[in-house]
Amino acid sequence: MSAFGLALTPMKLRQRRVLPGFGLSLGFTVFYLTVIVLIPLMALVIRPFALGFGGFWTEISTPRVLASLRLSFGMAALAAVIDSFFGLIIAWVLVRYRFAGKGLLDALIDLPFALPTAVAGIALSTLYAPNGWIGAILIAHGIRIAYTPWGVLVAMTFIGLPFTVRTLQPVMSEQSQDVEEVAATLGATRLQTIFRVVVPMLLPTLLTGTAMAFARGAGEYGSIIFLAGNLPMVSEIAPLLIITKLEEYDYAGAAAIGVVMLAAAFVMLLALNALQAWAARRR
C-alpha cells in the first residue's frame, strides 16, 4: 500500500464514526444506568435473601401475600382487556371521524396521565362511594363498587385507558384505507372488513397497548387505595401490602414481595419487546 493510501486509512476510519464521542457517551450511559437503575434493583433482589431461600419462599407464599398478588395481577389483566376493547373503539372514533368537541375528547384521554394518582383516587371514591353520585344509584340496585375488589378494577381501568388509545392512534392514522376499499369491492360487509381486515392488522399494536395497560395497573397504588377499602384477603393490593410491611419494619418481607413484582415487570418488558419485534416484521 502506498504512503498516500496509508494516510487515507485513518481518515476513512474517522468518517465511519457516525456519532463522535461514542466511547465517552456509552461510558456515561452505562455509569448512569448502573447507579440509577441496576444498583437499586440489585439491592432489592439481594435484600430478601438475607432470610434464606426458605424464608423468602415463606414470605411470598403466605395466604395474605398470595391473595394480594392474585388481586393485583388478576384485576390488572381484566382491566387491560376492558381498556383494549374500549380503547380500540375510542381510537377508531378519534382517527376516522370529525365531530364537534373532538379536540376536547382527545385531550381528556390524557387526563389519567396528568392527574396525581391520589387525586384520581379521591375523584373515583367521590363517584363510586355508597353516598357518591354513581355509587348511590348502584347501591339502590344492590351493586357495590367502592371498598370491594371491583373498586380495584375501576381504578385500574381508569389509569390504563390512555395506554391502549395512545398506542393505537398513530398506527391507525398511518394505516391506508385502500385495503378496506378492496374488501368492500369484493363484497365484504362493514363488520367483516373490520374484524377480518382491520383488526388483524392492528393486533400487534393492540397487544402492545394491552401489555402496557396491564403493567401500569399491576403497579398502581395511589388511585386504588382510596377506592378499594384495603381489606386483607379481600381488597388489599400487593403495593399496599409492601407499604404495610415497611411500616411494620419488615423490610425483608417488603423486599420479597417487591422481587415478585419486579419479576412480573421484567416478564412484561420481554413480552413488550417480543410484540414490538413481531409488529416490525409484519409491516
**Cell digits of residue 50:** 438475607
**Residue 2 dihedral angles phi and psi, to the nearest 5°:** -70, 165
Q: What whole-number distance in Å separates Cα of residue 192 and Cα of residue 178?
A: 15
Q: What whole-number distance in Å separates Cα of residue 119 and Cα of residue 193?
A: 41
**What's the confidence (pLDDT) of residue 63?**
93
**What's the confidence (pLDDT) of residue 4?**
47
Q: Output the CA torsion sign for 80, 228, 119, 246.
A: negative
The count of C-alpha atoms lying within 13 angstroms of the C-alpha of 260, restricted to the half-sphere facing its C-beta, is 23
Long-range contacts of 195-203 (CB under 8 A, 24+ apart): 199/88, 201/175, 202/88, 202/168, 202/171, 202/172, 202/175
CA distances from 256 to 29, 55, 150, 207, 249 (A): 29, 9, 27, 29, 13
**What's the confidence (pLDDT) of residue 8?**
47
Helix locations, the chain, DSSP H: 3-16, 22-33, 39-46, 52-60, 63-96, 102-109, 111-114, 117-128, 133-140, 149-174, 178-185, 190-193, 199-218, 222-228, 238-247, 251-282
Q: How many CB atoms lie within 10 A of CB 225?
A: 23
Q: Are 146 and 153 in contact (CB under 8 A)?
A: no
pTM recorded for the entire structure? 0.82
**What's the confidence (pLDDT) of residue 26?**
81
Q: What is the mean pLDDT of each run of 10 residues along the chain (283 residues)?
A: 50 54 79 87 83 84 92 93 93 88 88 86 90 89 89 93 91 78 76 78 85 89 87 90 90 90 84 74 66
Residue type at position 220: E
Q: What is the DSSP string of 94-150?
A: HHH---TTHHHHHHHHTHHHHS-HHHHHHHHHHHHSTTSHHHHHHHHTT---TTSHH
**Cell digits of residue 72:** 393485583
**Residue 185 dihedral angles phi and psi, to the nearest 5°:** -65, -25
CA distances from 54 to 49, 69, 224, 246 (A): 9, 19, 32, 21
